[in-house]
Amino acid sequence: MMNMSEKEKMKLGLLYDANGNESLIKEREYAKEICFQYNQLPPSRAEERKDIIKKLFGKTGNNFLIEPSFYCDYGYNIEIGENFYSNHNLVILDGEKVTFGDNVFIAPNCGFYTAGHPLDVEQRNMGLEYAYPIKVGNNVWIGGNVSVMPGVTIGDNTVIGGGSVVTKNIPSGVVAVGNPCRVLREITDEDKNKYRKSMNE
């Protein structure tokens, strides 16, 4: 096998050295500098904030809003669709790609972590880690204080309940909740009438 860079190993889901590799360290420092600038801007400079995210992310839609504070590792591995919204304190550790579809709503204090560490203590203490991609479909609502772990896919039209730790794939069209996160039930037509739509109802 030919010699691979640590970044190439990262992209292939292999163990890689994130903490001792100068190139990856510089990329993270750049992203964190951009995040710092973003988080210092006042709400009145919304367009400037939007331009920063377009510069940082690999792909964005035209319409999105990310409330500060926001933090990520690299930025270029993050892709968001149209009408993306995240509330305060979103953290994305994007050693691998993190992809969000259209109309994704994320509540406060959520984390999406592609990065993990070996269970073996010797490998872990060597500073090695791995990164597996995360994919979130269209029309997904993620409640507050949710953690999404490496390698997870969340299907379209799904709701993840607050406080969940999502360790495995979640299908489309369901409500899922818990630690570890499990499917609670399917979303049905009855859910359209669950909430009052006017004062006259």
Q: Report the catalytic residues.
A: 117
Closest CA to 14 of 122, 123, 162: 123
Length, in residues, of the chain: 201
> Which amino acid, one-letter code, is at 11?
K
> Which amino acid, one-letter code, is at 88?
H
Strand 16-17's sheet: what is its strand order?
Answer: 16-17, 128-131, 115-116
What single DSSP character describes residue 59?
A: B
CB 152 within 8 A of CB 171: no
CB 74 within 8 A of CB 116: no
The SS3 assignment for 91 reads: strand
